[in-house]
Amino acid sequence: MPGDKSLSHRALILAAMAAGRSEITGLGPGADVAATRRAVGDLGIHWDADAVVSPGVSRWSAPHGPVDCGNSGTAMRLLAGALAASPFTTILTGDESLTTRPMERVAEPLRRLGATVVTTSAAPLEVTGGALTGTAVELGIPSAQVRSAFELGALQAAGPSQIDSPPGYRDHTERLLASFGLGTRLTQTRFEVLPGQVPAARYEIPGDPSSASFLWAAAALVPEARVTTPRISLNPGRLGFLEILGTMGAIVEGEVTEAFHGDPVGTISVTGAALLAIDVAGELVAAAIDELPLVAVLGAYAEGITTVRDARELRTKESDRIATTVHMIRDLGGGAEERDDGFTVVGTGFLETGTVDPRGDHRIAMAAAVAATRSYGPVQIAGSEVVDVSWPGFYETLEDAWS
């Protein structure tokens, strides 16, 4: 599997914040991670083979113009936090899709620390750093990106800070900080940041479970088909889709084999079986947010009606993923309906030939390809190259696995 995208972003930014040379291997190959790499380069950080060489966050250089984060909301939000104490103004911008995604949710916690953050609710973000003071914030949503942005800013504040939110988020940043002695978990959801210098380190990025989920789903659709994915990140906040697969009837087996800065890493095997419909809601939505279009594909082939609720956040992704997911299923002859906070899919047991427009969303394109592995005819995917955002070579890998 390609290197985990979430961990790749975090390793790049933490290495850039550290003074010295940090080695990174296994970076995710997609355009989103490349955008983060370019963005930190605009701040005076240099690359030497597989290493990041930085003067440290306190000596970052003011960029010569707006910093382009491409299609990556993670890059924009996490960099806003890292820049919160820098003594200059940075404008973080991105492509057309990124300029529609909500940014006020990350701006307000950073203002609480003392940074000046200007946004018209969406990108671009204008961040002017300053002297930061530790504080406590409580979020209304379980957002790993917002938590991480606050924590990266809080590292540079005078005094400790605390953050809390509903459960269900991926806690990669907090595990990384705890491994460096820069934070501690107080409760299941409350984390305390201890200000300090991020050390130079070595990062060996494990495989991406969000990418692996497309192969897991393809195997789950065919009774007795099996796929095994070694050295995958098994962060508890990333395993909601595996829980969904097991509940629907697929056989899921896993083993932890190592750790990445406090994050479990291991092997997952999924074996296909006859699938039953499922109701996905609550914390499970947050733990499977990137995989919910795949739930719709599985639901089309399952027995019964599959429902996804409490997933209004899908409307703020690279596309309105509630709408694009429903269109995908309908475009292939399936039955699906939008809800304000999710969708329902009728388990007809089949999908047909058709053309899917992912509307520039890589996960919709990839989900359509998985649907094609059991459709009655070929599936055309408009703008299919959009998968390069996260996984160049995805179609070839799926074809190889399927053959």
- Contact predicate 361/386, CB 8 Å: yes
Q: How far apart are CA 114 and CA 386, in angstroms?
A: 38
pLDDT of residue 48: 81
Are the C-beta atoms of residues 108 and 69 closer than 8 Å to each other? Answer: no
- Beta carbons of 116 and 107 less than 8 angstroms apart: no
Fold of 5-204: UDP-n-acetylglucosamine1-carboxyvinyl-transferase; Chain (3.65.10)
Predicted pLDDT at 218? 97
Exposure string of 189-217, with b = 16+ CB inside 10 Å and e = fewer, is bebbbbbebbbbbebbbbbbbbbbbbbbb
Average pLDDT in the chain: 94
The domains of the chain are located at 5-204, 209-402
The pLDDT assigned to 275 comes to: 97
Under-70 pLDDT residues of the chain: 403
User: What pLDDT is attached to residue 3?
Assistant: 95
Same fold, 5-204 and 209-402: yes
Stated pTM of the model = 0.92
The half-sphere exposure of 192 on its side-chain side, counting CA atoms within 13 A, is 8
CATH class of the 209-402 domain in this structure? alpha beta
Degrees (nearest 5) of the Cα angle 126, 98, 177? Answer: 70
pLDDT tens by residue, 336-382: 999 999 999 999 999 999 999 999 999 999 999 999 999 999 999 99
Strand arrangement, sheet containing 263-271: 226-233, 263-271, 251-260
Q: Which of 42, 171, 290, 331 is flagged as catalytic?
A: 290
Active site residue 290: yes
According to the model, what pLDDT value does residue 207 have?
A: 96
Select from 326, 340, 401, 316 the least CA-distant residue to 368: 326
